[in-house]
Chains A and B, each alone.
Chain A
């Protein structure tokens, strides 16, 4: 296990910058998730760490050693592929033993290590099966065992759960996380699934267009997104466009004067409002930082959550999520309502956020 440092890591294909100057420092034992839409450069970054893509610029240090120019087979990284990439002609046991054979370990030592890791991933008794005789979840665990048994300096997971069905995905997520903690594995995982990222990561790296948009904890990303892209990608968000008119006041293009944090940057042009931070009332709420009258245009009953679309102005329609508490009023389409929220819920951000969630 070791610390991983990426310094100004860059990969260009012709004119296209797939990865543009990524800096990242992952201490030993941490699980970091690279999160982003397809084409954001997360997979290219992972493949550079594994050695399958040669960086155009920048450096990779693993355990203090510069491995930027080292070929994949001399890096001691354990990669779990999206497709699992099990050797179809070898049994589960032989798949797992492969890395140990390449390291010229003795037969007895190999057998002991393989047996141990089979127990670790709960595949005892299935070692003689060929990959095609195993279920998807079992194949996944063979792939994980194969990567773990070589005691890699770093574990790399490339969308490891995307080929599993929803139920299994939840189980395996927890399993991998517990295993990773137990073994103290430095881990980099790539995914486009934010729920997966949020449940598994110690720290998240949101990427877009080859660049790191933000590094931080789940709470950081959700409550203090660095820009509109992060706000739009992590969780659901309402976006309003406009500008900061005075300290603590954001003027939307539609003309609403919205109170926000006084420290809000003057150059922000987008306001993000999380739907569960907004509240509805039948009458104006005195003392609220922000309170606007509107009309319910759409209402969904989602069991624990009630979701409304409220029209404030011809340009602005906000999504509101209310928890379904006993005694709370349920609004229907056409109701006149008052929408209110505190100034701290108004996040002023740079960028335009793209499509809203």
Chain B
């Protein structure tokens, strides 16, 4: 804005140009400040959780009276945490695979198909993101009761019922990530494969899948994380006496607020972080996300 004023006459340098330099510096500082604030809001709670998990006092107070590792040992004494972790792991993996098996064909249709209602379908598949977990949980609970009454299949409280629900909430992620990686896909390379003698199936396996692999890995990772961390919906659908890790944490919190929870969270963060790092070694996730 002040540039116009600085233009007309070749006056002594410095006098007229100083404000321009100043406003740039101010802009840079403002950007840096905003970025710092943004990162702080995201990272401080996580860092706090990590810090808390080493506090030695049973009731969390500041400053800590000392540091200890016993909360980590404590986790493994709690059968709930161990079995919850295993259940979450199983459900997460099956939901991830199921989500990909449904998400890949769906994404192919959405990214390539030309049919009426494509946009509507695209929106529909993202809806599970919008519906609050409690609402979705209630709805699926009621739905499963109705199905069980109608078909006499023991769906309610079954592992299959839980996995189906988890697959549903992974779909928006798989579809979003996969359609994104299919959007930039040059279809002539599939034609090249066909031209060179590959059947459509072989072309898909040898060319299409490897090229969209970053999208698939990202989709798999996110599906797993979403399923692994889900609490609200799972609460409605889990069989009595069974737990997933988030439920185990919730149950523990009802009686005690010692740093065990922080320790569990830290382990979870480390686990998922490691997963992302390993995945990133094979495909550059930054290219898809």
Among residues 58 to 83 in chain A, which have CB atoms less than 8 Å away from a CB atom of chain B?
Answer: 71-79, 81, 83
Q: Does B207 contact A (CB under 8 A)?
A: yes
Does A83 contact B197, Cβ atoms closer than 8 Å?
Answer: no
Query: What is the bound-complex CA distance between A85 and B213, given in angstroms?
Result: 18
- A55 interface residue per 8 A CB criterion: no
Query: Which one of A73, A146, A147 lies within 8 Å of B198 (CB-CB)?
Result: A73
- CB-based A-B contact count at 8 angstroms: 65
Tell whether, in the assembled complex, residue A99 and residue B189 are in contact, meaning their CB atoms are under 8 Å apart: no
Instruction: State whether the Cβ of A14 lies closer than 8 Å to any Cβ in chain B.
Output: no
Q: Is the CB of B197 within 8 A of A89?
A: no
Report if A78-B189 is in contact (Cβ < 8 Å); known contacts: A87-B207, A88-B211: no
Assess whether B196 is in contact with A146, with CB atoms less than 8 Å apart. yes
| Chain B neighbourhood of A74, CB < 8 A | 197
Q: Contact check, B199 vs A86: say whether CB atoms are below 8 A apart.
A: no
From A73, A78, A85, A146, give the contact of B188 (CB < 8 A).
A85
Give the secondary structure class of B's interface: helix
Task: Indicate whether A150 reaches chain B with its CB closer than 8 angstroms.
Answer: yes
Query: How far apart sit A86 and B207, CA to CA, in the bound complex (Å)?
Result: 10
Instruction: Find out whether the CB atom of A98 lies under 8 angstroms from the CB atom of B193.
Output: yes
Q: Nearest chain-B residue to A104 (Cβ)?
A: B197
B199, closest chain A residue (CB)? A73
Contact of B197 among A73, A81, A87, A88 (CB under 8 A): A73
In the bound complex, do residue A102 and residue B196 qualify as a contact, i.e. CB atoms below 8 Å apart? Answer: yes
| List of B residues within 8 angstroms of A146 by Cβ | 192, 196
What's the tally of chain A residues with a CB closer than 8 Å to chain B? 26
Taking a contact as CB atoms under 8 Å apart, the answer to whether A102 and B192 are in contact is no
Q: Say how far B39's CB is from chain A's closest CB, in angstroms.
A: 33
CB-nearest residue of chain A to B192: A85
**Judging by beta carbons under 8 Å apart, are A81 and B192 in contact?**
yes
Q: How far is the CA of A71 from the CA of B188 in the complex (A)?
A: 16
B58 at interface, CB cutoff 8 A: no
B188 touches A87 (CB 8 A): no
A298 at the interface (CB under 8 A from B): no
Cα A146 to Cα B197 with chains together (Å) = 12
Contact (A83, B186) CB under 8 Å given A89-B210, A102-B202: yes
B195 at the interface (CB under 8 A from A): yes
Q: Which residues of B sit under 8 angstroms from A79, Cβ to Cβ? A: 191-192, 195
Residues in B lying within 8 Å of A, measured CB to CB: 186, 188-189, 191-200, 202, 206-207, 210-211, 213
State the 9 A-B residue pairs at the shortest beta-carbon distance, nearest first: A99-B196, A102-B197, A85-B188, A85-B192, A72-B194, A79-B195, A89-B210, A85-B189, A102-B198
Give 18 A-B pairs besides A52-B191, A87-B189, A99-B197 with Cβ atoms closer than 8 angstroms. A50-B195, A73-B196, A78-B195, A79-B192, A79-B195, A85-B189, A86-B189, A86-B192, A87-B207, A87-B211, A88-B211, A89-B211, A89-B213, A98-B198, A98-B206, A102-B193, A146-B192, A150-B196
Residue pairs across A and B with Cβ atoms less than 8 A apart, 19 shown, are A50-B195, A51-B195, A72-B191, A73-B194, A73-B198, A79-B191, A79-B192, A79-B195, A83-B186, A87-B193, A88-B189, A88-B211, A89-B211, A89-B213, A102-B197, A102-B198, A102-B202, A146-B196, A150-B197
